[in-house]
Amino acid sequence: MIWLTWRQHRVQAFAGLALIGLAALVFLPYGHAIRGAYDQHGVGPCLVHGTGGDDCQSAMSAFMSRFNGIANHLLTWFTPIPGLIGAVVGGSLLGREYEHGTWRLAWTQAVPRTRWLTAKVLLVGLGIVTITASLSAVFGWFRAPIDNVSSRFSSGAFDLEGLSLTGYTLFAFAAGVLAGQLFRRTVPAMVAAFAAFMALRLPVEFWLR
């Protein structure tokens, strides 16, 4: 099962690794620049010893005005990532089996179909957790100095840091698997899964948070 799952999803796995590499390439240089300015402006000592003085307020304002906007702008480009990963991987997991007719072979082997599906979902889900946790670590490291001054719960940051990124992606993945079973076509399953992701994310973004 492990080898078969790897053969079927290796392209998606390599795409996930490439995405991690792209995120590191984009965010690590900016992260080093942010940390340098964080130390240069003396923001850290201000947060430790209090923020009431005018010098500290000026230092933090200068730091935030310099980096907060560009940080949010960069993260905005990665905001759809959870929905896209979950929809593409989840929608193709069963949708592709039905489209190509390979389910007839897979489900008539010695391995029961329940065990086959469970093993496949768990293995692919583990891969998703690994990739999204790595992405979340990159995003969190990048924004850490800014989060110290403002909040990790600000718009854009919350969705890509901590457990949120993995949680959103697993939700879209589960929606994709379900849609693949219902539609039995890959593209409609992907579209339905991404729509379900947006139906969850937008209310959380604009009303619940």
| Residue 153 CB contacts under 8 Å (≥ 6 apart), including other chains | 209
In a domain, 41, yes or no: no
Q: How far apart (Å, rounded) are the C-alpha atoms in residues 14 and 134?
A: 14
Per-residue model confidence as pLDDT tens for the chain (209 residues)? 667 777 777 899 999 999 999 999 989 999 999 998 888 878 888 877 665 567 788 888 888 888 888 888 888 888 899 999 999 999 999 988 888 777 666 666 666 778 888 888 999 999 999 999 999 999 999 988 888 888 767 666 778 888 989 999 999 999 999 999 999 999 999 999 999 999 988 887 777 66
Q: How far apart (Å, rounded) are the C-alpha atoms in residues 94 and 102?
A: 10
Nearest to 44, CA basis, from 139, 140, 149, 151: 149
In a domain, 38, yes or no: no
Q: Contact, 16 vs 127, CB < 8 A?
A: yes
In a domain, 179, yes or no: yes
In a domain, 46, yes or no: no
Q: How far apart (Å, rounded) are the C-alpha atoms in residues 126 and 123?
A: 5
In a domain, 144, yes or no: yes
Six token digits for residue 122: 């768990």
Residue 68: the pLDDT is 81
In a domain, 155, yes or no: yes
In a domain, 15, yes or no: yes
Whether the CA torsion 162, 71, 73, 56 is positive or negative: it is positive
Nearest to 175, CA basis, from 135, 121, 110: 121
Q: Dihedral through CA 181, CA 182, CA 183, CA 185, nearest 10? A: 0
77: three-class secondary structure by DSSP = coil
109 secondary structure, DSSP code: S
In a domain, 62, yes or no: no
The contacts found for 167-170 with CB under 8 angstroms, 24 or more apart, are 168/82, 168/83, 168/86, 168/197, 168/200, 168/201, 169/81, 169/82, 169/83, 169/85, 169/86, 169/128, 169/132, 170/86, 170/125, 170/128, 170/129
Six token digits for residue 206: 């604009």
Per the structure, the complete domain to which residue 106 belongs is given by 2-27+80-208
- Counted domains in the chain: 1
